[in-house]
Amino acid sequence: MSSRSIPPPNLKSKEELYFWWYLLELKDKGFISDIRYEPQSFDLCESVRFPWIKKMKTKDKVCDFELLKGMRYTPDFTFVWELKATGIFTANKYQNPRNMPFKMLGKTCWVDVKGTFSRNESYRIFPMYQKMMWKIHGIFVEKIVMPTLYVKTFTPERFLLTDKTMKPRTINFETQTLNDYVNNRLQELFSVNTGLQRETNHKQLATEPV
Domain boundaries, the chain: 3-39+53-202
Please check the confidence at residue 34 and state whether its pLDDT lies above 80: yes
Predicted confidence at residue 202, as pLDDT, reads 45
Beta bridge partner(s), residue 80: 33, 108
Report angle CA 145, 149, 154 to the nearest 5 degrees.
Answer: 160
The tally of CA atoms less than 13 A away on the side-chain side of residue 27 is: 19
- Pairing between β-strand 32-37 and β-strand 108-115 as defined by DSSP bridges: unpaired
Q: How far is CA 80 from CA 56, 131, 182, in A?
A: 57, 21, 18
Q: How far is CA 121 from CA 39, 46, 125, 128, 208, in A?
A: 22, 21, 6, 12, 42
Confidence of residue 94 (pLDDT cuts 50, 70, 90): confident
What percent of the chain stands above pLDDT 90?
61
Tell me the per-residue pLDDT of 130-164, one tens digit each, with 9 for 90 and over: 999 999 999 999 999 999 999 999 999 999 999 99
Confidence of residue 3 (pLDDT cuts 50, 70, 90): low
Please check the confidence at residue 25 and state whether its pLDDT lies above 60: yes
Predicted confidence at residue 56, as pLDDT, reads 87
Q: Higher-confidence residue: 25 or 54?
A: 25
Model pTM score: 0.82
Predicted confidence at residue 200, as pLDDT, reads 45
Please check the confidence at residue 195 and state whether its pLDDT lies above 60: no
Confidence of residue 197 (pLDDT cuts 50, 70, 90): very low
Predicted confidence at residue 104, as pLDDT, reads 77
Predicted confidence at residue 190, as pLDDT, reads 80
Confidence of residue 5 (pLDDT cuts 50, 70, 90): low
Please check the confidence at residue 208 and state whether its pLDDT lies above 80: no
Contact between 33 and 79 under an 8 Å Cβ cutoff? The reply is yes
